[in-house]
Amino acid sequence: MDQMKIVFNKPYLTGKEMHYMYQAVYSGKISGNGIFTKKCHDFFEKRYSFKKALLTTSCTDALEMTAMLADIKPGDEVIVPSYTFVSSALAFVRQGAKIVFADSNSRNPNIDTEHLEELITPRTKVIVPVHYAGIACDMDPIMNLAKKYNLLVIEDAAQAVDSFYKGIPLGSIGHMSTFSFHETKNINSGEGGMLVINDEKLRNRSEVIWEKGTNRSEFFRGAVNKYGWVDIGSSFLPSEIIAAYLYAQLENLDSIQSRRKKIWETYYEGLKSLTELGIMIPFIPDYATNNGHMFYLVCTDLRQRTALIEHLKNNSILAVFHYQSLHKSAYYINKHDKREIPFSDKYTDCLVRLPLFYELSDTDLNRIIDIVKEFFIKYE
């Protein structure tokens, strides 16, 4: 029988997006920082006690803003995990930073905090923990090191909306944090992102950098009587049309999250017996929550992973691997200090992500689980 193809991701439409976009368009104010942008900011600030939220056109943009706010200069060092998306490092490289790559830990791809202190030098300015799959990094040791060495912590929370560390929302712990609303994330606006400012000292400057280096935001609050060029910056704010789309998603955050978590738990229950064969499933430490962003397996080697992806493909199921260690990338390999980063390489070779999206049906979900299990029973 011909099976229907199961895609890896399908962006979910709540149904209200077009309605709000229509409102935005006909309001006559479609540039940035209007009514829908404010609604989105309020939503995040209230729900997760972020000191300040600023929508951006992507998480990459938000990261670039953090590099400006951290005042990164040539020669400064920034500690970033090697197993992450390019943008986590790229934003700082654009300001001339040297990236010092950290390894992941043995139980999940998050940054290894046990060996973090060894990477700090007098030139270190920033640590960038990435909450992989929306599962929290161990933030206490990271914040303690930051305090001890006077560093900034910038959480790359691109995948971590609505997830927590010891009950505290991710994105509210570091001095700054960034989120993504790319179509592959839980909440999306096609392309989109957000900068969160938790350190009061960075608040005013963040608005200036957001609006092309001008004090336009202050002007509109009535705090100054004219506005002009006061600092560096760029055009980081999305139009109201994008904010309107995003707001429709936010209104449905709870139902999106509960369906995604249900799918994740079904995978977890269905596949946890694979650990007996040496296959790793997502590990959620006691201090962390799961936000249903991603379900992955870590195979025993590259050959096994390639065969699994092939087996799923032959059954019309699209599963995909993820990052390639950044310290071995074409752009950075000659700049890296030659240290081995073994766990990052392991996840590069062995991690595979299974389809997870709101509209994935229970029938398809159970079929994926059966076919994954069937593969491991036969594989040798």
Ligand X SMILES: *Cc1c(COP(=O)(O)O)cnc(C)c1O
Q: Which residues bind ligand X (CB under 6 A)?
A: 58-60, 84-85, 87-88, 130, 156, 158-159, 180, 182, 193
Nearer to ligand X, 180 or 206 (CB): 180
CB of 91 to ligand X, least distance (A): 9
User: Distance between the two ends of the chain, CA-based, in angstroms?
Assistant: 27
CB of 192 to ligand X, least distance (A): 7
CB of 128 to ligand X, least distance (A): 9
Nearer to ligand X, 87 or 304 (CB): 87
Nearer to ligand X, 83 or 375 (CB): 83
Nearer to ligand X, 158 or 279 (CB): 158
CB of 181 to ligand X, least distance (A): 7
The helix/strand/coil state of 102 is strand
Nearest alpha-carbon partner for 42 in 52, 29, 57:
52
DSSP 76: -
Nearer to ligand X, 180 or 215 (CB): 180
Nearer to ligand X, 77 or 156 (CB): 156
Q: What's the longest Cα–Cα distance across the chain?
A: 73
CB of 53 to ligand X, least distance (A): 15
Nearer to ligand X, 72 or 279 (CB): 72
Question: Residue 72 CA to chain centroid, in angstroms?
Answer: 21
CB of 55 to ligand X, least distance (A): 11
Helical H segments across the chain, by residue range: 17-26, 35-48, 59-69, 87-93, 139-149, 203-210, 216-220, 240-251, 253-271, 302-314, 342-350, 362-378
103 is written with which tokens? 């390894």
Q: Are 110 and 137 in contact (CB under 8 A)?
A: yes
Instruction: Please name the helix (run of DSSP H) or strand (run of DSSP E) that holds residue 81, with its range, or none.
Output: strand 77-81
CB of 182 to ligand X, least distance (A): 4
The CA distances from residue 159 to 73, 206, 330, 339, in Å, are: 28, 22, 25, 28
Nearest alpha-carbon partner for 47 in 171, 137, 140, 157:
171
CB of 134 to ligand X, least distance (A): 9
What is the C-alpha separation between 143 and 149, in angstroms, rounded? 10
Nearer to ligand X, 64 or 207 (CB): 64
Going by their DSSP bridges, the two strands 176-180 and 193-197 should be labelled as: antiparallel
Backbone angles phi, psi at 328, to 5 degrees: -110, 10
